Amino acid sequence: MPSITPDDDVFRHLSLTYSQNHGSMYRGEACSASQPGFKNGITNGAEWYPLTGGMQDFNYVWNGCMEITIELSCCKYPSAENLEHYWKENQVASSSVRLRTTC
């Protein structure tokens, strides 16, 4: 069951900003037949898999800090020779989110 926060619209906006500025993420295609695809390339993390006691929840509840997780590729442990490809694939999307946030 997803955890909806009072800032859900902001979380969705930032996530969609990333997804829409990525070459393929917005299509929401699954990495394989055994994995889910996500509408517009985004999901609420609790809807994907439950996690209790994570830093994102702690920082949000106790410090008011908003964090999102970005899965850069389908491969959890890419080889070193693929890192430049993943950087190029995610560079514009990453910059587009950074331009909409402050620290």
Structure confidence by residue, pLDDT tens digits, 16-63: 999 999 988 888 777 777 777 788 888 887 777 778 888 888 999 999
Active site includes 71?
yes
Give a yes or no: residue 3 inside a domain.
no
User: What pLDDT, in 10s, does the model give residues 74-94?
Assistant: 778 889 999 999 899 999 999
Domain total of the chain: 1
63 in a structural domain: yes
Structural domain includes residue 44? yes
Catalytic residue among 29, 47, 71, 89: 71
Domain region containing 50: 8-98
User: What's the pTM?
Assistant: 0.81
CA pair distance 25, 82, nearest whole angstrom: 18
Domain assignment of residue 85, yes or no: yes
**CA trace torsion 29, 99, 95, 103 (10° rounding):** -100
Is 72 contained in some domain?
yes
* 1 within some domain: no
Q: Rounded to whole angstroms, how far apart are CA atoms 61 and 41? A: 26
1: Cα within 13 Å, side-chain hemisphere: 1
